[in-house]
Amino acid sequence: MRIGVSIVAAALMLMQAGGAAAAELPDWLTGEWQQQRGDRWTEEVWTLPRGGVMIGVGRSGRGESLANWEVMRIVRGADGALAFHAAPEGGSATIFPVVEQGVRDIVFANPRHDYPQRIRYWREGRLLMAETSRMDGSDAQSWTYSPAGK
């Protein structure tokens, strides 16, 4: 009987550990990131995970002119699930729950939002890749960020 109980307990612990791993904040996103295409530029900065949240800011422009900016958060909710909160230009935040997460990639989606509906980040070596699109992948916009200052 003890062996059966131990196996069940071990299985439950493994399931909990797997669930916790799936809800880990994406620490691989941490840092200062930049993309430069001619005189157009885009930057994102993400804090280390702490207290169940990562805070990000982004801005883009052309030359010395700022075109837009955004405050972002990736938050672990009370249920353990992650969600991306995007507040362009300081407006009200739109929430995009996580729909997929791997070791070095994460996808958030909100089909009720006009655009974007899907936000994806992933790493390719030292580069940070980002893409926004509609749920079906159409109207995609993508960014290839390098570490800033390197």
Count of all residues that appear for the chain in the document? 150
Check residue 93 and report its DSSP letter: P
- The C-alpha atoms of residue 28 and residue 118 are separated, in whole angstroms, by 20
Domain boundaries, the chain: 2-147
Q: Are 86 and 94 in contact (CB under 8 A)?
A: yes
Digit-by-digit pLDDT tens for the chain (150 residues) are 444 444 434 333 433 444 444 479 999 999 999 999 999 999 999 999 999 999 999 999 999 999 999 999 999 999 999 999 999 998 999 999 999 999 999 999 999 999 999 999 999 999 999 999 999 999 999 999 999 986
SS3 content of the chain, % helix, strand, coil (to 5): 15, 50, 30
Q: Is the dihedral of CA 83, 85, 86, 92 positive or negative?
A: positive
Check residue 64 and report its DSSP letter: T
Q: Are 144 and 35 in contact (CB under 8 A)?
A: yes
- The C-alpha atoms of residue 45 and residue 34 are separated, in whole angstroms, by 9
Q: Are 43 and 69 in contact (CB under 8 A)?
A: no
Please name the CATH architecture into which domain 2-147 falls: Beta Barrel (2.40)
- The C-alpha atoms of residue 38 and residue 128 are separated, in whole angstroms, by 19
Q: Are 44 and 33 in contact (CB under 8 A)?
A: yes
